[in-house]
Structure 1
Amino acid sequence: MLLQRIRTLLKISRPEEIMRRYFVVNGYDGALTMLGLMMGFHVSDRVDLAVVITSCLAAALALGMSGLSSAYISEAAEQRRALAQLEKAMVSSLDESHHARAATWVPWLVALVNGLSPLLTALIIMMPLWLAHGGMTLMFGPLPTAMAVALAVLFLFGVFLGRVGGTFWLWSGLQSLMVALVTMGLIYLLG
């Protein structure tokens, strides 16, 4: 029943494209932010791993909350606008319609995607930090391993965008990787 209702609301409002775009854009932001933080810690004087984890987790939570709130506010406004235009065209109120329900619930769905994307991406990238903090020995150390995970995630976002856009997946993945490497280089120069 609930799934059928959600499908109906999604069919009416068609938010799939914007949710995909938000997922990739904010996931990419989360990955590049984590990479930047870890690179900053890496080029700094020796920093305690607990401080790195806390800082990265705080940034991940802030990115998630920012994504959640900004997407809800903007998508709710867009949905209200679209509903008002439809009501004007139909010269009647749609308060009890599927369109009105979609205008209420779809912003929450879009906001969840927008907020969870950078948060989950960051948490995946942070896994080596938690493993090392828990006592696991990593061959290259926690920060380089986490940075390698971030590079892999950024490459995969590029591959995904290449497939969505109909371009060669490897080229798109390498473009994303190049942005990450330039970012790392700039941070290294600052350090």
Structure 2
Amino acid sequence: MPEMMTWRALQQALEISQSDGLIRRYFVVNGFDGALTMLGILGGFYMSHTEDLHIVISACLGAAIALFMSGLSAAYISEAAESQKALAETEQAMGKSLKDSAHGRAARWVPWLVGAVNGLSPLVIALIILIPVFVHQPGMAYSPLVLSISVGLGLMFLLGFFLSRVSQTHWLLGGVKALSVGLLTLAIILLLE
């Protein structure tokens, strides 16, 4: 991992690399992956009438950790390669090493940041979706799977809302579009049963 950076230096690295949009896209794309994966697993467990929440938690956590590792490593590896390529091209054009410059620091730090966002997004969303399952106690009057599925659909709506704010379109339309993807996923699972 590269040397520590201040908040201002990190902002400068994002500006130099023009990665803020990329990070936003990775957050949403992998957030969708995390939410849809949890909806798929929880929907499958609900359809099979599984009551052993330890199995549900193990399966969902396994998937969430796999999404985290996949997102972190894939984004870091690909972004590190792209950053090093761009830095080498800039160095060649300038005829000098930029290793110790702001450009060099950006080439080292931005891939880590992109990887962290790409990996943490599905993990955090998956953990939020699983809260009703984690806190459920025998005798409680709600179905933890139905409540977790509802939380997942709510998060899908919020991701769509976030995208609508970025694209400056109507928030309700963005939320409904994303929610529709979650509902369609559940409908397909129901049809397969």
For Structure 1 versus Structure 2, the TM-score category normalised by the shorter chain is: over 0.9
Report the Cα distance in structure 2 between the residues aligned to 1:176 and 1:32, rounded to whole angstroms: 10
Quote the residue 2:133 is aligned against: 129
Matches within 5 A, 1:105-120: 105-120=109-124
Question: What residue ranges of structure 1 are gaps of 5+ in the alignment?
Answer: none
Q: How does 1:68-147 map to 2 (within 5 A)?
A: 68-132=72-136, 134-135=137-138, 137-139=140-142, 141-147=143-149
Separation in 2 of the partners of 1:43 and 1:50?
17
- CA drift of 1:47 comes to 4.1
> 1:180 maps to which residue?
182
How large is the Cα RMSD of the aligned pairs?
1.4
> What is the Cα deviation at residue 182 of structure 1?
1.0
Deviates more, 1:119-128 or 1:163-172: 163-172
Spell out structure 1 runs of 4+ moving beyond 4 A.
Answer: none
Gap runs ≥5 in structure 2: none
Alignment TM-score, normalising by the size of structure 1: 0.94
TM (norm. structure 2) is 0.93
Count of paired positions:
189
- Cα deviation for residue 154 of structure 1 reads 0.1
Counterpart contact for 1:138–1:145, Cα < 8 Å: no
Q: 2:159 maps to which residue?
A: 157
Q: Describe the shift of the 1:95–1:28 C-alpha distance in structure 2 as closer, same or farther (beyond 3 A).
A: same
Between the aligned partners of 1:14 and 1:84, the Cα distance in structure 2 is 17
Shift of 1:44: 1.0
